[in-house]
């Protein structure tokens, strides 16, 4: 895929996304506008379906709308609130520890820098970038498995890991698409460009896509 074609691809995905449901963390960011809630909901979303993440986020935020409140909750209460997200006991301990550190070192405010966010246990590059982009509206590129898979299938990048994909996208992806690419490609990955047997016959960008690494499609 050429650098010029990426503009058409993004336009097609943007149009198609009007029929798709936004990711759970994006919905939280749009509804709450709070970096703390973006951070917590993103941690809950890891290895968890959106249909579970959304309700779990609502339950924990009804109990703890800020870091100070979450820091004081007993682990058992947090576990009950976020169940059945994946690894809910581990995540309960992680988000309590994050809340306590935020209160202890940052006055309860989530830091804006990716490198600083990465020093928190349980926060990886995906989560850090989502906090920066969705929580603060600052430039960043969140690359999860969907973004990594689709960018490689399109031939826009040739990488082995999401971190490598992020690095390449920071070099070549026009900055206007940085914040939005995660939403678009997550929705595309959930609806069209599935991990196995993608729905290429109804994909709006089929003519641009060489289907790199795809063995069979519908």
CATH of the domain at 43: 1.10.340.30
Three-class SS state of 158: coil
Q: Are residues 71 and 111 in the same domain?
A: yes
If one counts the domains in the chain, the total is 2
Q: Are residues 85 and 131 in the same domain?
A: yes
Spacing of C-alpha 152 from chain mean position: 18
Residue 216 belongs to some domain of the structure: no
Among residues 113, 136, 159, which one ends one of the domains? Answer: 136
At 69, list the tokens. Answer: 């409140």
For residue range 202-212, list pLDDT tens digits in order: 999 999 999 99
Q: Which residues neighbour 119 within 8 Å (Cβ) at sequence distance 6 or greater?
A: none
Separation of alpha carbons 24 and 152, rounded Å: 24
Q: Are residues 195 and 124 in the same domain?
A: no
Q: Are residues 187 and 149 in the same domain?
A: yes
Q: Are residues 165 and 184 in the same domain?
A: yes
Q: Are residues 54 and 71 in the same domain?
A: yes
Predicted structure pTM score: 0.93
CA distance from start to end of the chain: 21
Q: Which residues neighbour 199 within 8 Å (Cβ) at sequence distance 6 or greater?
A: 191, 192, 193, 217, 218
Domain that holds residue 84: 33-136
Over residues 139-159, the mean pLDDT reads 97
Q: Are residues 129 and 56 in the same domain?
A: yes
CATH of the domain at 196: 1.10.1670.10
For residue range 153-204, list pLDDT tens digits in order: 999 999 999 999 999 999 999 999 999 999 999 999 999 999 999 999 999 9
């Amino acid at each position: 895929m050429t650098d010029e074609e990426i503009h058409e691809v993004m336009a097609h995905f943007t149009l198609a996304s009007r029929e798709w449901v936004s990711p759970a963390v994006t919905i939280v960011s749009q509804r709450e506008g709070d970096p703390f809630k973006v951070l917590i909901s993103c941690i809950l979303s890891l290895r968890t379906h959106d249909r579970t993440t959304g309700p779990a986020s609502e339950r924990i935020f009804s109990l703890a709308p800020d870091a100070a409140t979450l820091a004081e909750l007993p682990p058992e209460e947090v576990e009950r609130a976020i169940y059945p997200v994946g690894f809910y006991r581990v995540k309960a301990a992680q988000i309590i520890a994050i809340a306590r550190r935020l209160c202890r070192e940052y006055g309860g405010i989530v830091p804006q820098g990716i490198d600083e966010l990465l020093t928190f246990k349980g926060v990886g590059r995906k989560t850090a970038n989502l906090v920066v982009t969705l929580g603060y509206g600052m430039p960043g590129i969140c690359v999860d498995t969907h973004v990594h898979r689709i960018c490689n299938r399109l031939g826009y990048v040739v990488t082995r890991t999401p971190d490598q994909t992020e690095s390449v996208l920071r070099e070549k992806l026009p900055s206007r698409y940085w914040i939005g690419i995660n939403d678009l490609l997550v929705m595309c990955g959930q609806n069209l460009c599935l991990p196995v047997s993608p729905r290429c016959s109804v994909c709006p960008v089929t003519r641009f896509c060489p289907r790199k690494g795809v063995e069979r499609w519908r």
